[in-house]
Amino acid sequence: MKHEKALELILRLSAFFVLFGRGIQHLFYDAPYRIILWNEGLLAPIFNLFGWSWKDYVTSSLTDRFINYSVILVGILLIICSLVVIFNYKKGEKLLYLSGCYLIVLSLLYMASKYFIPAQFIEYSAQMFSPFALIMFWKKGQSDRLVLFIRLAVALTFIGHGSYALGIFPVPGNFVDMVINILGCTESTALVFLKIMGSLDFFAAILLFIPILDHWALTFCCAWGLLTSFARVGEESVFGFMHTLSTLGHEFIMRGPHFLLPLFLIYSAQKKAFNFLKATNISK
């Protein structure tokens, strides 16, 4: 029973972190709604059909306020969903379904903002599937289906992350900057470091599905997921650490699933091993 409670707590923290972090982002920063709502190629034909002025729409302060208020309202909803999780309110399951679906839509918007690079979408797998994982646990506890579901989410997250680090897709400038600022190295050294870690990301994603070796992969994913999340607030800043934490803290919080879901799999495997040994002793 203690093991079940611990597993549930890990999943609750994972869902809470991403929902609360994204909620803070929406309330105080922004979300990529404009990638669709200001997309002339997508919306102009509709405007032309009804005889509306595209220029008036995109330059209207009313339009801008509508987008801003929409982002804030969604932020409030995400914070409410995070409270459903932290207070273990299982009757709020529908809100979690809604928040999970929204996180998928949000990930698609981020992919659209990055020229539809698929790695941008799958990098968010652990985040957008955390609410669904908790719902699955609430319904049936620790099941083989849930474990496989989480394994896939973790593998996709690290494949997406590793695709950028390896240079399969253009290496984000902030990746390079974070390595340089934290390690105090040159740009060329930072790129080599990213290629090495990107290779390990892919290697770990494969080992996750090899029973004898998966514990090594999970240990790496848990540690590297924590480090890459903390890197968002671990950079040196001329304004000091507290300023960085207050402005970028949500970037760390929303990435909680990147290390909490691997931790769930580690703890889950320990429980299975314990049950196996217990059953063996009983049979003897």
What is the pLDDT at residue 133? 96
pLDDT score recorded for residue 182: 86
So what's the pLDDT on residue 169? 94
Region 106-110: mean pLDDT is: 96
pLDDT at 241 over 60: no
pLDDT at 84 over 50: yes
Question: What does the pLDDT average to over 47-74?
Answer: 92
Residue 284 has pLDDT above 90, yes or no: no
Mean pLDDT, rounded, for 28-47: 90
- pLDDT tens digit sequence for 208-220: 999 888 999 999 9
pLDDT at res. 132? 97
In this prediction, residue 238 has a pLDDT band, given cuts at 50, 70 and 90, of very low
Q: What is the mean pLDDT of residues 248-264?
A: 92
Q: What is the pLDDT of residues 12-24, one digit of tens each?
A: 999 999 999 999 9
Lowest mean pLDDT among 70-84, 104-118, 119-133, 258-272: 258-272
Query: pLDDT at residue 236 above 80?
Result: no
Average pLDDT of the residues in 104-114 = 95
Q: Which residues contact 104 (CB under 8 A, 6 or more apart)?
A: 128
Mean pLDDT along residues 84-89: 90
pLDDT at 246: 53
Q: Work out the mean pLDDT of the chain and round it to a whole number.
A: 89
Which range has the worst mean pLDDT, 23-27, 37-41, 81-85, 93-97? Answer: 37-41
Q: 90 pLDDT band (50/70/90 cuts)?
A: confident
Of the two residues 194 and 184, the one the predictor is more confident about is 194
- Per-residue pLDDT, averaged over 37-45, amounts to 89
Across 204-210, average pLDDT: 95
